[in-house]
Each structure stands twice: as C-alpha cells, then as structure tokens.
Amino acid sequence: MTTALGAAPVPRTLDASVVHWLLSTLDVASPAGQSEIVSPFTGTPMGSLPQASAADVDDAVSALRAGQESWAQLPVAERARVLLRFHDLVLARRDEGLDIVQAEVGKSRRDAAEEMLDLLLVSRHYARDAQRLLRPRRHRGVLPLATGVVELHVPRGVVGVLSPWNYPLALVSGDVLPALVAGNAVLVKPDHRTTLTALWQVGLMHEAGVPRDVVRLVPGDGAVVGPLVVDRVDYVMFTGSTPVGRQVAARCGERLVGCSLELGGKNAMIVRADADVRKAAEIAVRGSFTNAGQLCISMERIYVHDAVYDTFVAALCDRVAALEFATGIGWGGTIGSLISPEQRARVQAHVDDAVAAGARVLAGGRSRPDLGPAFFEPTVLDGVTEEMSSCRNETFGPVVALYRVHSDEEAIRRANDTVYGLNASVVTRDLAAGQAVARRLRAGTVNVNEAYGAAWGSTRAPMGGMGDSGLGRRHGDEGLLKYTEAQTIATQRVLGLGTPPGLSDERWLGMLTMSLAAMKKLGLK
C-alpha cells in the first residue's frame, strides 16, 4: 500500500531584504571563503555566507574573554532579567522568526511553531531557576561549628555552542541562554545552513541587554570552523552525529576541557497489547514524521504487540495518507522538506536497500521532485531485517520500521538492542505497566503515551542520551550547572586542624577518632 500525498498551496518565500539585513550583522573581518545559503523548499540561493577564518575566531574569543569578566560580576537576578526580556522580544517578533526558520530548514509552520514554543519555555525556565541553582550552598565542615564550608558555582569562561541545522531555534538559544545566565560568554558556531536563524536570535539577545562582547557568532562550514572553536574555548556544547561527537570529545580531552554532547539515536516505540490503537497511531505519526523525521528524538522503530499489529498498521497508514506537504513559508501542510537533496538521497538509499532485501513499503517510499529538490514521502516499512542499512543506522528522515512482537519482554529486549540510548516511548492503557516497561528501557528519556514532547518539554527534568547518544544533559539542574565549575571555600574558625599545643599527635588523633564515632551515633554525616 502506498500513498500519494498532496501539497498545501503555500507559495511565499523569505524576503531578500531580511536575508540582507541578517547577513549585514555578521562580524567577519577576513573571510576564508563564501558559501551559498540555499532554500530547501526550492533549491534556489538566498544569499552568500562568508566563512570565518582562524583570525576571526581568535578575535571573537579574545573579545569574549574581555567581556565575560564584567558580565559574570552582574547579579544573577540581573542576568535572569535579560533572559526574560529576550523571551518577550521573541514573543513579539515570532512571525519574523518563524519565516526565517522555515526558509532555512524547509519545515512546516506547525513544526517551526513547536520549536518557537520550546525556545520561549526554555528561556523562562532558566530565568526562573538560575538564582536557585547558582546561590551559595553551605555544607557541614570537617569540624562542625569550627569549619565553615560554602560551595560556589563559578562560570567556566568562554563556552562554545556548536549547533545543528534541524532545530536552529531550540538548539541555539536552548544552549546559549543557560551558559549566559551562569555568567559565561558564548561563541556560537551554527550549522552553515541555518546561520540566518542563529543571527536572528543573537541579535535579539543583544537587544535584550547581552553585551556584544558576551555573545558572538562565527559562521562557516562545521568541518572547518568547528575545530577552530573547540580548540579555543573553555567548554563545548555540541549537538550532531555520533562520529563527529567522538572527534569533539577527543579534542576536548586533549585540552582537558569539558564538553556536553547530544548525538544520534535509533529511538524505539513500544505499542503494548492493551493500547488504544487510534491514539497509538496518532503518537506514532507525530513521533516519526515531525520535522520530516529530522529530529534526534524521533521514532525510527516501532515494536507492536501481535494482538493489535494489524489494526495499528491500518490506523497508522490511514493517518499517513492524510498528511499534506508544506512547500513554502506560512501555515498549511504538516510535513516539510528535508534539508537538502543529499539528505533526501540518504533517505532514499535506506528505503531502496530495505526493499531490495525484502522489506515491504506500507506507505510512502518515494521522493517528490514535483514539489521540490528535497521532498520525501513519509514512509512506513514492514519486514526490516538485520542486513538492511536502515535496521540499526540512524536514517534521520521520514522513515519508520514496524516490528511484530509477542510480549513486553520481547519488545523491551529488541528496543534495547542498539548502541544508542537517546529517547523511547511506550503506549498503553495501563499507566503502571507502562512505567514499569519505561524503567527497563535504556534511554535518557522515556515517554509513556507520548513520543517525545512530554519529556523534552518538562524542562525541570534532565534530557540527554546513554551509550552512543552522548554525554551530559540538557534541561534540569545539570543543563545550567554544567556551564559552571564547583568551587569549595572552607573557613576554619578558632580551632585549627593541627595538633593543639600540649597534646601529642596520638592523643589528638584519638580525640578526633572519638568525635567521628560520636557523630555516627548521632546520625551526623
């Protein structure tokens, strides 16, 4: 069964004056070349992007080091107010931002708006929690009353944020804002395909009150400019593929600087025997095809209990057939373009390889050159086996494979049979049973009766991957504290730790030992 999706009539494109305005804000003194910014919707150039040279990166880092010290001296509450002003500016100019991100990524307006909502949510979260997380914390000293101990969280200095193209709103501001409110300066290196979206955000940060020498952007190809950034900053936040993440971690390791990495995934959904099939199909469509499947936490594998497999397949394919393509800027359509013809070719290769080896296409399966150079139909596969490239390798496109299972145990075992561990989903009517299954899945986030939004949107809770899906966490306390160094200041009052006059070392150490024993009896740590 295949589908022939239609397209919503959305002809609008990004005004050339907007592109010119954004590019004019770039600070590149000695560019090391130029590259075209291309519209995924049409394949036509939108502008020319200069590539920062090593000298440009050096200049940016020097300026940021000079500006960071005074920024860190501001009260946390004042830095938090800057984040709230940024929130308000984004909210007021959201349509402008949605136009830009649609033009650069080729996503539908609905998907762009979801990303915009995330940006607003995260900016409020870090503004609200910064004072709680960064306040000095008192601890019991080695000698209670005589030893005062305070834990501080001091900024790392200059943070490098290397952001990807697929979510250029959420994955620029979502990483820059916590680093800023923690007192760091930030150097942003966006993917060269989404530099306009990053420039828009950095410009609003400056307008909100972040000094220009506290957040800066360097443009260019990731393979060229990315290492220049990694080799010069004090901490790196990278989002991208697992192979590149290993390179970033190795470079950071050589310099003994920290890094946080959100990398690839081959995320699994489990549909239990008791699941509401229509609800499961709705979750699966959103979870697999949001942003045309170009989402690190999207579903690429669905394990469906045999008792509901056939009815689930029918419900899923009906929903896929009802989707419409969005072919330009504006509302209308639910699934956009892939980022480039190269990405479309990768997706097509995964589907063709699976079909050649015996898999069946239940829905989709085709490129759509009639709509644009990078459109691909949302695709459902059955019968994917180990020898197929799409079985274990991340497709990062609108392709999901269905697998029939006969028990929760089999579903858990097969879902966990991967080197990745980023996100997972369980669909069930029995919430207690769903939570029990979730606890056994090896993934940084697991959603019960949702694909990704419940865990991702709960910003007080950490988000990140296990295994080859990365290191560190976004959101939660760690999402901010990772941009700081813990510093302990211990003040000894009156009684010192050395042997007091008139006592032997043996007698003094015996007294200390007895004190520790007494503390244990009193339940003191």
Q: Which residue has the tokens 């909210």?
A: 91
Residues 197 and 168 sit within 8 Å (Cβ to Cβ) = yes
pLDDT for 8 equals 56
Stretch(es) of the chain classified as CATH 3.40.309.10: 267-467
pLDDT for 5 equals 64
For this structure, is 296 an active site residue?
yes
Does the domain formed by 53-263+478-484 have CATH 3.40.605.10? yes
Amino acid at 472: G
3-state DSSP percent of the chain in helix, strand and coil, to 5: 45, 20, 35
Rounded Cα–Cα distance for residues 415 and 423 (Å): 11
Q: Show pLDDT as tens, one digit a residue, over the chain (525 residues).
A: 334 466 555 457 788 999 999 999 998 988 888 999 999 999 999 999 999 999 999 999 999 999 999 999 999 999 999 999 999 999 999 999 999 999 999 999 999 999 999 999 999 999 999 999 999 999 988 887 888 999 999 999 999 999 999 999 999 999 999 999 999 999 999 999 999 999 999 999 999 999 999 999 999 999 999 999 999 999 999 999 999 999 999 999 999 999 999 999 999 999 999 999 999 999 999 999 999 999 999 999 999 999 999 999 999 999 999 999 999 999 999 999 999 999 999 999 999 999 999 999 999 999 999 999 999 999 999 999 999 999 999 999 999 999 999 999 999 999 999 999 999 999 999 999 999 999 999 999 999 999 999 999 999 999 999 999 999 999 999 999 999 999 999 999 877 788 888 999 999 899 888 888 887 788 776
Rounded Cα–Cα distance for residues 464 and 456 (Å): 9
Rounded Cα–Cα distance for residues 372 and 255 (Å): 44
For this structure, is 391 an active site residue?
no
Largest Cα separation within the chain, whole Å, is 94
Stretch(es) of the chain classified as CATH 3.40.605.10: 53-263+478-484
Rounded Cα–Cα distance for residues 317 and 289 (Å): 13
pTM for this prediction = 0.94
Backbone dihedral region of 474: left (phi > 0), alpha (psi from -120 to 50 degrees) or beta?
beta
pLDDT for 352 equals 97
Rounded Cα–Cα distance for residues 101 and 166 (Å): 10
- The DSSP element (H or E) to which 466 belongs, if any, is strand 466-467
Would you call 219 helix, strand, or coil by DSSP?
A: coil
Tell me the CATH number for domain 267-467: 3.40.309.10
pLDDT for 76 equals 98
Task: Name the catalytic one among 115, 262, 300, 377.
Answer: 262
pLDDT for 138 equals 94
Rounded Cα–Cα distance for residues 87 and 117 (Å): 10
pLDDT for 496 equals 78
pLDDT for 455 equals 97
Q: Which of 240, 137, 245, 142 lies closest to 481, judged by CA?
A: 137
Task: Name the catalytic one among 259, 296, 317, 391.
Answer: 296
Q: Which residue has the tokens 């609003």?
A: 204
Would you call 136 helix, strand, or coil by DSSP?
A: coil
